[in-house]
Structure 1
Amino acid sequence: MAKLNRPKLATHYSGPRAGPRDCVSLEGRCRVGEGEATRIAVLDLDSGGCRAKGITAAVTKVDPLRLWLGEIGPIAGRLRWAKRGSVGIAFDEPLDEMTLARIVETAAPTPVAEVIPLRRRLPTAG
C-alpha cells in the first residue's frame, strides 16, 4: 500500500510583508465588487494591508475590495488569504505615513492580554 504524502499546513503567514503591523481595534467598512458596504473590524494594520473580521460577502482573490478604515477611504485592495473568520487584505497602493498615522491614532488601543500562570500540583509519591 502506498503512503500518502500530504502537504503540511501553514500555521503562520510567511509571505512578503512591508514591516511589522500595528495591532489596532478599528471599525471599518468593506465593499466587495459592486456589492453593499458592510461593517468590519480591522485588527492589524500596516502600510501595505490589514487583517480584518466580519466580511460576510463571498469574496475571491480576484474581486476588487473598497475599504474605509475609520473615516479614511475608500482604499482599494484585494483578498490575500482567509482563515478562521479573518481575512488578510493587501492594499493596491501602500498607505503613506501620514495617512497610516492618522488611522492608527483614531483606533482604540488593543488591550494587552493578561496571562495568569497556572501551577499544576505534582503527584506525591506514597
Structure 2
Amino acid sequence: MDAMNREPGNGTQMVEDNDSNRADRTGRRDSLLLMAQMTLAGDAAPREVRVRNISEGGLMAELPLAVEIGAPITFDLRGIGPVAGRVAWSTQGRVGVAFDRPIDPKLVRKPVGGGTTTPDYAKPATGLRTRPFSY
C-alpha cells in the first residue's frame, strides 16, 4: 500500500511515497522523547522541538508549523551534535526528516553528564537490618 504525503499549504498537492523513498525509511526506528534544537533554513535562531523517534537515516519531530518538503533543516542532537538533513514529509504537528549522513541513534540515549555524583534518592539504602523482623 502506497502512502501519500501532503505538502504544506492548501493541502491539494500530493507526493507519492514511492519505492525509492520507502527504501530510505526501512531502518529500525527507536521510539523516544528527546528535546533537541532545530534550525530551519532561513531561521535566525534554533527552536526547541520534541523528537519522537529516530533512526540512523532520519527522525520524526513535533513541529507546530508547516514546512516545505525538501527544505534544509539541522538538528542539534544530544550525544551527536549538529546533523543536517531535509524535510521528507510534513503533516499537522509533525515533520519527518531524512539526514544527509547516517548517525548512530544509540548515541542520543547515552548520558551526557559526567556521572561523578549520584543523587541521594538513587543511592541504595544503608543501615538496613539483615535479620528478619520478629513480631
The alignment's TM-score, normalised by the length of structure 2, stands at 0.59
Matched, 1:42 2:51: yes
Residue in structure 1 matched with residue 83 of structure 2 by the alignment: 75
The code of the aligned residue for 1:34 comes to: G
Of 104, 107, 114 in structure 1, the residue corresponding to residue 109 of structure 2 is: 104
Identity %: 29
Q: Is 1:23 the counterpart of 2:25 in the alignment?
A: no
Separation in 2, partners of 1:9, 1:75: 26
Corresponding letter in the other structure for 1:49: G
Q: Tell me the distance in 1 between the aligned counterparts of 2:3 and 2:57.
A: 25
One-letter code aligned to 1:86: R
Mapped to 2, the partners of 1:46 and 1:25 lie a distance apart of 13
Partner amino acid, structure 2, of 1:43 = R
Partner of 1:93 in structure 2?
A: 101
Greater RCO (Cα-Cα under 8 Å, separation 6 or more): 1
What residue is the counterpart of 2:63 in the other structure? 54
Residue 79 of structure 2 contacts residue 110 of structure 2 at CA under 8 Å; is this kept in 1?
Answer: no
Q: 1:9 to 1:63 in 2, by over 3 A?
A: closer
Give the Cα separation in 1 of the matches to 2:3 and 2:74.
Answer: 30
TM-score, structure 1 normalization: 0.63
Unmatched 5+ stretches in structure 1: 1-7, 107-126
Distance in 2 (alpha carbons) for counterparts of 1:84 and 1:34: 21
Q: Which is further off, 13-22 or 75-84?
A: 13-22
Count of residues in correspondence between the two structures = 95
- Which of structures 1 and 2 has the bigger CA Rg? 2
